[in-house]
Amino acid sequence: MLGGGPFLTQNKVLPGTYHNFISAARAFVNLSDRGYVGLPVPLDWGVDGAVFAVTTEDLQKDSRKIFGYDYTDDKLKGIRDVFKNAITVYFYKLAVNAVPAQNDFATAKYTGVRGNALTITVQTNVDEPTNFDVKTLLDGVVVDEQTVAAAADLAANDFVTFKPAATLVVTAGMPLTGGSNGDAITGGAHQEALDELEAYGFNTLGCLSTEPAIKSLYVEYTKRIRDQVGGKFQLVGHKVGATDHEGIIDVQNDAVGDEVFGAVYWATGAQAGVAVNKSNTNKKYDGEFELAMDETKTQTQLIALLKGGKYVFHRVGDEVRVLEDVNTFTSFTVDKNEDFSMNQVIRVLDQIAIDTAQLFNNRYLGKVPNDQDGRISLWNDVVAHRRELQSIRAIQNFLPDQVLVEPGNSKKSVVVNEVVEPTVAMSQLYITTTVA
């Protein structure tokens, strides 16, 4: 039998063909997707105690199963606003001592008041009188139907789990009752949500609270993850205060009605979904909430708000638009100038951080020797990625010679130094016209 297979060195004994198959060198140019949101939110229905991901398609097709309401229901208008620009939202249901609804036959799959809209009907099967037709109805609409001989044969559906020890008796309709959203949402519930979300990657995190202590919790969480852990996302909240940080977006406008932070839904999705080479400056607000304009009527008000790092909606004719795509960073220094107050700049820098980490962790960490050849390979990948950013006009004036990949202080460390110049969208025009 002749030898064969791959080889590492030319040390084989048997005659034969030894063949290595390798990929041609191909530079890393992948840009990670945007449009991901983390959102702790009070809900009347939905997964309890865990993060659950919902896509735009999921919302449109399965909103009743996921949130307990039809897609067009007013209860979901905030969630619809997020998805006007987001592609995936990682939800966490905020609840304290919430209770599922139940009756003699079944218990609601999730806690919350929406379970009280469920009803179980039991009828004798026409063809087999010893069997029962058991239907689950939500707001009078059949969402599940099974034919069984006994309760033990019933399978759980998207809305209820059945009690196997129950005795099936004919009933025109037995509502589930006792479902409750529980007590007032506490900081502890928000902390649990943030702890669970820490394992997920997203572009923006929404804070749906008017409580100063809870808003402070989100602010400090964002600062810690961005500055110490390396997670790159921005927090979007409502009147969060003088936070002075590039990772915090502070929506100034109230929404008219009970949910004053209604604009946060839209802004959270819009900031997550905007492309790395785009800006939300002057973006038209197409959300479902009416936004109050009493604080954003005059140029004096707008100037003061912008200087304070506020994210402002203002009226332009019959439309409502974003005034400037900014964050709360205002304490400019030589090392961190006003560029860091522009969210488009932060998106570019976050994109670089996320993509470079993925590049290194997937291609190099524990795989490539830290020698000259290995560092040249890393340099090529970093340069290829930055060139891709320049090709879509996210950065400009990129010079590969300004990317330096060098050995670090230990045998296993590599140091990269580079210069990048993010591109931002035009927002001001100064024009002088000379009349001859």
pLDDT in tens, 358-417: 999 999 999 999 999 999 999 999 999 999 999 999 999 999 999 999 999 999 999 999
Bin 190: left if φ > 0, else alpha if -120 < ψ < 50, else beta: alpha
Residue 6 has pLDDT above 90, yes or no: no
CB 86 within 8 A of CB 35: yes
CB neighbour list of residue 333: distance below 8 Å, 6 or more residues apart:
none
Torsional class of 127: left (φ above 0), alpha (ψ -120 to 50), beta (otherwise): alpha
Q: Of the candidates 394, 398, 287, which has an alpha carbon nearest to the alpha carbon of residue 350?
A: 394
What's the Cα-to-Cα distance from 274 to each of 12, 62, 297, rounded to whole Å? Answer: 56, 25, 26
pLDDT-based confidence at residue 175 (cuts at 50, 70, 90): very high
335: three-class secondary structure by DSSP: coil
Share of the chain above pLDDT 70, in %: 94
For the stretch 154-161, contacts whose Cβ atoms lie closer than 8 Å and that sit 24 or more positions apart, written own/partner, are 156/109, 157/109, 158/65, 158/109, 159/65, 159/108, 159/109, 159/118, 160/106, 160/107, 160/108, 160/109, 160/118, 160/120, 160/136, 161/106, 161/107, 161/109
Tokens of 88: 């995936």
**Is the distance from CB of 94 to CB of 40 less than 8 angstroms?**
yes
257-274 pLDDT, tens digit per residue, is 878 999 999 999 999 999
> Where does the pLDDT of residue 41 fall: very low under 50, low under 70, confident under 90, or very high at 90 and above?
very high
> What is this structure's pTM?
0.92
Q: Rounded distance, CA 125 to CA 53, Å?
A: 39
Query: Domain 36-95+183-322 is of which CATH architecture?
Result: 2-Layer Sandwich (3.30)
Judge whether residue 27 has pLDDT over 90: no
Query: Quick one: CA torsion of 198, 204, 208, 211, rounded to 10 degrees?
Result: 70
Identify the band that residue 26 occupies on the pLDDT scale cut at 50, 70 and 90.
Answer: low
Nearest CA-CA partner of 388 in 233, 276, 274: 276
Q: What is the pLDDT of residues 206-252, one digit of tens each?
A: 999 999 999 999 999 999 999 999 899 999 999 999 899 999 999 99
Q: Is 97 left (phi over 0), alpha (psi -120 to 50) or beta?
A: left
Closest CA to 242 of 345, 330, 326, 337: 330
- Helical pair 372-391 and 343-359, crossing angle rounded to 10 deg: 150
Please spell the DSSP secondary structure of 2-50, one letter per residue: -EEE--SSS---S-EEE----PPP----------EEEEEEE-SSS-SSS
Nearest to 117 by CA among 169, 79, 67: 67
pLDDT band at 3 (very low <50, low <70, confident <90, very high): low
What is the pLDDT confidence band of residue 28, given thresholds at 50, 70 and 90? low
- Reading the block at residue 145, the tokens are 């139907």
DSSP letters spanning 169-202: --EEEEE-B--B-BS---HHHHHHHHHHHTTS--
Contact indicator for 426, 434 with CB cutoff of 8 Å: no
Does pLDDT of 23 surpass 60?
A: no
- Gap between the terminal Cα atoms of the chain: 94
Of 129, 111, 242, 236, which is closest to residue 179 (Cα–Cα)?
Answer: 111
Output DSSP code: residue 168.
P
| Of 68, 100, 102, 98, residue with least CA distance to 174 | 102
Run of H or E residues at 61: helix 56-67
Q: Residue ranges of the domains in the chain?
A: 36-95+183-322, 106-175
Confidence of residue 20 (pLDDT cuts 50, 70, 90): low
Residue 10 has pLDDT above 90, yes or no: no
Contact 170, 2 (CB under 8 A): no
Helical (H) or strand (E) element with 93: strand 88-94
Residue 413 has, within 13 A of its CA and on its CB side, a CA count of: 4
Q: How far apart (Å, rounded) are the C-alpha atoms in residues 242 and 248?
A: 10
Question: For domain 106-175, which CATH number applies: 3.30.830.10, 3.30.1010.10, 2.60.40.4290, 3.30.930.10?
Answer: 2.60.40.4290
